[in-house]
Structure 1
């Protein structure tokens, strides 16, 4: 799923078909396709956000590629499914709120991925046909790093930004300037402005050292070098980034404002040579090839030597060398036609499948996953792999206990490929999908007839779903709340999630430490019955804690007092009891603390289960005193203060209350409503109240929404406890409407406007907002229904299409008149 930036031109895109017959929605085949499309789009958007939005991972490159290809196949068969917001035409991911948002001078595009040498040959032959001659191409290794965009103004590095969503990225200039070997100034001659694209990477050898150090310190371990690069570059303090051995390699050109002394390069290889003259790091592996055979030779060589380089690679990028030819070939809405990326086959290993367990997601979907002997593959140690659903387990034919072939698809998420049947010894057992939810005990069932996925229908009260929804509220694609991640969501909704493991450890003879720093151990002989030991362990522990949240409704009403008594179980080093004279003000906690005997001290245990306050500082003192020859233990609860996690969460919740309406819509976990549909709904209706009051037909009429999403939105608001969540958020001060300037004259009412190419005074989003604010429809493709097309630099095929259809065309100056005068500007 790695994406490489290139220049932008646009091609016509199918819109949600306004020409479909009214009966088309009732056709079973299309309805099934729409449902599958929505599911795939949601998964792809989530994967893209995880990949580009931080240092986390969600799915494999290969799995992502399969989903995208399935989406494209659906859209080719049913063009009405494709919209300008479809994942198949999007690049990058939503922007983090941690850094300033900046606009790229030229949009950073993706690449068409190919997976066979035949596809590479087919692409090369297509270039030859379109250009009328066998093209020279530049073949480069596909660096598995973090895409960044550098801008040098008058030879000075003035800005560096991450890819973001392709149009806007995060300003990481201060951090990028700490990368060794990257010049801050260019030697003359240089253009007035040059925009250089490349990859920040974490050297493979240094990553191995970092990983070993993190494991030794029992810190969070980055799963691969790409994540280490992303996490290191996004440090809030540039000094922390400087402490990491990041490196940079340039490979792409965006803007080049030529001067007499610095004319624009005419070839890709000439651009690379200019970069080297400026001492900007480039890959030594870049090669000029004059035939497809030379390209295939390079692919074969690096396939055998992919781990010999200083950085990770996942393929070979091939680009037409002549830059004028690149412009002639143009681009689609998301990829240049003059380049492709060959991706190497995933790496495979064998390991033992120890168990198959299930996970319950926020939508109730129950997903089997394999638990394996940890194995190192494609740069990281793997112990878990998804099996998707029960049909997939049956299709693969895997049994618990099998030796399996594991593929680290796309160097990201592992895939169980197949069992090694010949080595079975008869001890293997078949997986049985549970009939009830492992989280709440509710009987599982498909959402509708024919679904392969089983779901827990207890949407309101299933602990796993509640936790998933609370966590989802804080994600970047929703309300982007600092401090509300997976662990915090578990602490708020399932503080006793680890209690069964704690009881089992106690029953097995381990020591446990409670919040008073008492070290507890059951006093039973080793041969006591298991049931007796488990009962004794349960009785020894404090009473189970009630969750701070029963669902997401109470999230924004949380305060410091609510967080004070949130205790969770975790593995940690045991504490030494605090002993000393009991102050007169301290209270005796006889009902909680053992009255006699020494407090047990763990023997030979580096870590034990400890009950600790998740959002507060540990403020309990345990003291010992002897009376009448008997030792008593006393606990004194001192004033509790929020810790960093508590302070961050409360501040994040307060900031989130005033965020945009579309983020609130995503945060509500309405099925099928991701950022794309949420933005469209928020723009059209302006408030949650208006969305709730809208009919299915009104919702479906919104571009980018359609019938399936409209029905899902309407059905969501029909549920009582959903409306209670909205009411609770409203009462807590969450902003449920966007501020709108009602004084803006609706000059574009009834007009459909398409903007293509780069405008000097507007980003693409700003132009769209200007159109929508004046009552117009901002479309993504040109058709007979288009009222006017606004063309900027590199307008591409949309301008051609407009001329073919006789649609009026305006420049940016004309766009200003259009905004002010409306249809009169077209005469």
Structure 2
């Protein structure tokens, strides 16, 4: 090999180390990935190949250190034993060789933030992140105590450590990420940032979990890895799911066991599987390199690339105003599923591909789950992102985020996408009861521009094909939503008004308005136009009166609700007035408080209405009865002070029966 060639290879190694280091800082310290997992792995693979070829390993090579950075805000803690990584492969054949003639355990390689829990005298003493090189981590006890499943006390008194992964399930990631404005691209990034929050109250909202994979102890260590896992399970820990293969296993059984790990059927993010020797002493005797332990090996799945053609980009506005970008391509069969879109995290990543319509691109499913664009072979750079909000048409801006990336934003304060909670409120069970239209679903529909006002909910059939092809939907889910929408077209004035989101005008007020205006919207609107004084109604004060008129005069609000009037019709309650007049509650004002055994809060309201009573939410001198359940509070005290008759749930039922 010539000196010049050597120099070129050494320069390339230094270049690779620099790129990997930059990626580590962005990923671990700033929680803003600058490249995909596939791109990162390609850089590491190339560096390892050059190191093997040249025999040169630089001191700052990431192949000799586990990635990560210590954040200044958290207290550094030294680990009792170095936390090394596992050797990696992409060939199942390497696992077959590794397992030959020995009992092994296969488990998920969960994709989150590695954490060590220290226990002493039966209680959790400290939680520490892996840290820079597995030697010094960060104390995150305050946030780990808020995890969903970490045992704070256990029956074991001896000191020991549990190593595991802090993760967020895919379902919780979607919900939490939406509540945070959709800023995170993967559960791993959200988990890493959440664990290191200084405010444990903020961390508690993130629905983090801890899944154990290793036991470290001078007194509790069993000679069998399987026994260790069983001890952890029996002590209350969630243990990473595993498959045990005895030493008598065959090569085919190893391959079958590996094949049993299907990421798309697992509730948590994973990036491979881990194989480890069951014989703890034997595994320890194999020693370690500066980077990984020889007792275990990780299989990272091969990313199979598929060729297709780029067809455009789709924008969707979120409730924060941030606009997501999805790359579109000709449908391609990936593992039996037809895929035609992949999420592009920000403007920088979109621009890096230099797309043009019809460009030949390579796509894959990251971790065998998430569709991703790997590369653009044509790079014609003739396709430009539209800069109009798909929801309101307002011109989009490009903002530089605190993490240094560029994102599209809609600056229009009246954009319907920012009103997701209003739409979700309208669709709730106790309002219009449109099952299937959750806040998460509505954000997708609104962001795509399919829903701009409440009336549009009743015309979603024109977007049937688009909805069915959207991630997470299909014909059955569309039909369920469609049926619920059609059923809600016939509604009472009470539920309709409760769904409009008028401040302080909820279900109880809606029932009063329904009763007073005979279930007629026309009568209600005519009263508004004649400046009706709503304070004459029970429990309506001046503030509620003013809120109704302010809402009615708001032109932007009117754009949301007025199209509804052409889509719904109002029905009146079918009630036998003669039978109602015979009940002891006819015309009486009744309040219910505390937990009732036979009724929900809405259920008791409906029951009272059926009896001809006037349900109320607060106790006043005009209250006739107070129905008292468990843990009744201030309403009971006030009723006693006013001398109002109180009824137990049993007494209430007896009066009905009589």
Tell me the TM-score normalized by structure 2: 0.51
2:316 maps to none
Deviation for aligned residue 1:65: 2.3
Q: Does 1:138 align with 2:105?
A: yes
1:384 deviates by 6.7
Q: Which residue pairs with 1:183 in the alignment?
A: 151
Alignment of 1:619-638 (within 5 A): none
Question: Could you give the per-residue CA deviations for residues 629-686 of structure 1, whole angstroms, max 9, x where no partner exists?
Answer: xxxxxxxxxxxxxxxxxxxxxxxxxxxxxxxxxxxxxxxxxxxxxxxxxxxxxxxxxx
Q: CA offset at residue 415 of structure 1?
A: 3.9
Which aligned pairs between 1:42-57 and structure 2 lie closer than 5 A?
42-57=18-33
Secondary structure (helix, strand or coil) at the match of 2:242 reads coil
Q: Which residue number corresponds to residue 786 of structure 1?
A: none
From the superposition, tell whether residues 53 and 308 of structure 1 become closer, same or farther in structure 2 (CA, over 3 Å). same
The SS at the match of 1:73 is helix
Contact preservation (8 Å) 1:141, 1:285 = yes
Say whether 1:151 aligns with 2:113.
no
Residues 401 and 571 (structure 1 numbering): CA distance in 2 closer, same or farther, change over 3 Å?
same
Does the CA-based 8 Å contact 2:356-2:380 persist in structure 1? no
Distance in 2 separating the partners of 1:345 and 1:431:
25
Aligned position for 1:101: 76
Number of matched pairs: 386
* Greater Cα radius of gyration, structure 1 or 2: 2
> Aligned to 1:230, what secondary structure does the other structure show?
helix
Q: Cα distance 1:309–1:63, how it changes in 2: closer, same or farther (>3 A)?
A: same
Q: Per the alignment, do residues 66 and 501 of structure 1 end up closer, same or farther by CA in structure 2, a change over 3 Å counting?
A: closer
From 155, 171, 174, give the equivalent of 1:205.
Answer: 171
Partner of 1:416: 374
Give the equivalent residue in structure 2 for 1:339. Answer: 296
Partner of 2:302: helix, strand, or coil?
coil
The separation in 1 between residues aligned to 2:386 and 2:198, in whole angstroms, is 36
Cα distance in 1 for partners of 2:128, 2:169 equals 20
State the match for 2:218 in structure 1.
257
* Correspondence for 2:39: 63
Q: Deviations over 1:118-141 (max 9, x none)?
A: 22223334xxxxxxxx11111111
Task: Give the structure 2 partner of residue 234 of structure 1.
Answer: 196
1:242-391 paired onto structure 2 within 5 Å: 242-254=204-216, 256-258=217-219, 263-290=220-247, 291=249, 292-303=251-262, 306-346=263-303, 352-354=309-311, 372-373=327-328, 381-383=342-344
Secondary structure of the corresponding residue to residue 228 of structure 2: helix
Is 1:79 the counterpart of 2:55? The answer is yes
Q: Distance in 2 between matches of 1:186 and 1:280?
A: 10
Taking the TM superposition and a 5 Å limit, the aligned residue runs for 1:417-496 are 431=379
Q: Distance in 1 between matches of 2:270 and 2:210?
A: 14
Superposed counterparts of 1:588-599, under 5 Å: none
> Match for residue 88 of structure 2?
113
**Alpha-carbon deviations, 1:718-747, whole Å to 9, x = none?**
xxxxxxxxxxxxxxxxxxxxxxxxxxxxxx
Q: Which runs of 5+ in 2 are unaligned?
A: 314-324, 398-406, 416-450, 454-658
| Cα pair distance change 1:386/1:295, threshold 3 Å | farther
CA deviation map 1:467-522 (0-9, x unaligned): xxxxxxxxxxxxxxxxxxxxxxxxxxxxxxxxx999x99xxx987899xxxxxxxx
Closer, same or farther in 2 for the Cα pair 1:289/1:52, shift >3 Å? Answer: farther
2:29–2:69: 8 Å Cα contact kept in structure 1?
Answer: yes
Q: Map 1:712-751 onto structure 2 (within 5 A).
A: none
Asked if structure 1 preserves the Cα contact closer than 8 Å seen for 2:86 and 2:297, the reply is yes
Deviation of 1:86 after TM superposition, in Å, equals 1.6
Asked if 2 retains the 8 angstrom alpha-carbon contact of 1:347 and 1:409, the reply is no
Deviations 1:370-406 (A, max 9, x none): 9832899999951379999x9999xxxx964246441
Distance in 2 of aligned mates of 1:90 and 1:72:
13
Whether the 8 Å CA contact 2:110–2:165 is kept in 1: the answer is: yes
SS in 2 for 1:47: helix
Which residue of structure 2 aligns with residue 689 of structure 1? none
Normalising by structure 1, what TM-score? 0.41
Matches within 5 A, 1:665-684: none
Deviations 1:283-329 (A, max 9, x none): 343434432433321211113xx222221222211001111101111
Higher RCO (C-alpha under 8 Å, 6+ residues apart): 1
Query: Residues 224 and 278 of structure 2 are in contact (CA less than 8 Å); yes or no, is this contact kept in structure 1?
Result: yes
Q: CA RMSD in A?
A: 4.4
Question: Retained in 1: the 8 A contact 2:13–2:50?
Answer: yes
